[in-house]
């Protein structure tokens, strides 16, 4: 058997619209893991949050399951807390970014391994916390994060998300040397380290496991999944994916995230 890695996004890909996993996807995941293949959950979610929301499904605690959190910047085994690889933001530049977003009036989240911070408590932060099921610690100012090993920053705007494009453009020249910025949702402008993304996370995991990239499959739906879909041996866009991702994919599933899109990819490219 040729061992393969499946890198899969959660929201809009493996999860259905109710944040559940359909029977077809669960059965296909069980089959591939039982056959000895590798599952890498490659997502923007923090590692500790992934563990919490995936625990009820049971299957994700197997030895051949890995978690690539914070847009693929931190890699761990699902069964323990050992960090296989980790990439962090330049702290001085991260604090500068946080000040820019604060001065512009945006609700902003700063992430480190195991913690999420915001320097304001408002309806946008509450909405994010409710939507993501993540606990957020409120701090007084960005300076309280000096010296912290931050993994990413999210600038939020639920009311006028198009303004995030203006914020991104206004600071592109100064910040692009240190950060990669992307939209993981129409309301979420995310900043991670310059040379990190979901695709690089998949590449690092494959090297760690000594599996050639040609034996990897990546499946996603959003703009931030483009990196891993392009990097993988086979890049898959689910039927409900954004057009930008579909344009980069090698294959587009015939069904969406509510009807077993990941199972379709597994059966076609992992268990074939």
Query: Is the Cβ–Cβ distance between 142 and 157 less than 8 Å?
Result: no
Is 91-193 assigned to CATH 3.30.1240.10? yes
Q: How buried is 103 (Cβ within 10 angstroms: 0-12 exposed, 13-18 middle, 19+ buried)? A: exposed
Tens of pLDDT, residues 27-63: 999 999 999 999 999 999 999 999 999 999 999 999 9
The pTM of the full predicted model, rounded to 2 decimals, is 0.90
CA 176 to chain centre: 20
Which residues fall within 8 angstroms of residue 178, CB to CB, at 6 or more apart? 89, 90, 93, 193, 194
Distance CA 200, CA 218 (A): 12
Q: Check pLDDT > 90 for residue 118.
A: yes
91-193: same fold as 5-86+196-270? Answer: no
What pLDDT does 83 receive? 93
**Residue found under tokens 């993540």:** 134
Q: Is the pLDDT of residue 146 over 90?
A: yes
pLDDT digits (tens, 9 = 90+) for 95-114: 999 999 999 999 999 999 98
Tokens of 36: 């000895």
Say if CB 188 and CB 154 are below 8 A apart. Answer: yes
- Per-residue pLDDT reduced to its tens digit, 157-192: 999 999 999 999 999 999 999 999 999 889 999 999
Residues 208-241 have pLDDT tens digits of 999 999 999 999 999 999 999 999 999 999 999 9
Could you confirm whether domain 5-86+196-270 is CATH 3.40.50.10470?
no
pLDDT at res. 81 = 81
pLDDT at 251 (0 to 100): 98
pLDDT at 134 (0 to 100): 85
Integer Cα distance of 6 and 123 in angstroms: 37
131 — pLDDT class (breaks 50, 70, 90): confident
For the chain, the domains span 5-86+196-270, 91-193
């Amino acid at each position: 058997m040729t061992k393969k890695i499946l890198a899969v996004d959660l929201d809009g890909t493996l999860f259905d619209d109710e944040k559940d996993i359909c029977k077809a996807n669960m059965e296909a995941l069980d089959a591939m893991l039982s056959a000895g293949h590798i599952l890498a959950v490659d997502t923007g979610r923090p590692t500790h949050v992934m563990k919490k929301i995936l625990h009820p499904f049971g299957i994700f605690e197997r030895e051949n399951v890995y978690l690539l959190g914070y847009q693929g910047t931190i890699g761990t085994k699902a069964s323990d807390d050992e960090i296989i690889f980790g990439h962090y933001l330049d702290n001085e530049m991260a604090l500068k970014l946080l000040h820019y977003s604060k001065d512009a009036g945006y609700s902003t989240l700063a992430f480190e391994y195991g913690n999420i911070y915001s320097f304001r408590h408002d309806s946008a932060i509450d909405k994010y916390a409710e939507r993501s099921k993540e606990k957020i610690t409120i701090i007084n100012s960005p300076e309280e994060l000096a010296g912290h090993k931050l993994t990413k920053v999210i600038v939020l705007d639920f009311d006028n998300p198009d303004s995030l494009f203006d914020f991104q453009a206004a600071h592109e020249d100064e910040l692009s040397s240190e950060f990669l910025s992307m939209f993981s949702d129409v309301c979420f402008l995310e900043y991670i380290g310059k040379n990190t993304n979901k695709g690089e996370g998949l590449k690092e995991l494959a090297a760690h496991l000594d599996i050639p990239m040609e034996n990897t499959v990546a499946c996603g739906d959003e703009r931030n999944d483009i990196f891993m879909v392009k990097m993988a041996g086979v890049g898959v866009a689910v039927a409900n994916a954004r057009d930008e991702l579909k344009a980069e994919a090698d294959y587009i599933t015939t069904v969406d995230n509510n009807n077993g899109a990941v199972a379709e990819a597994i059966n076609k490219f992992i268990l074939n």
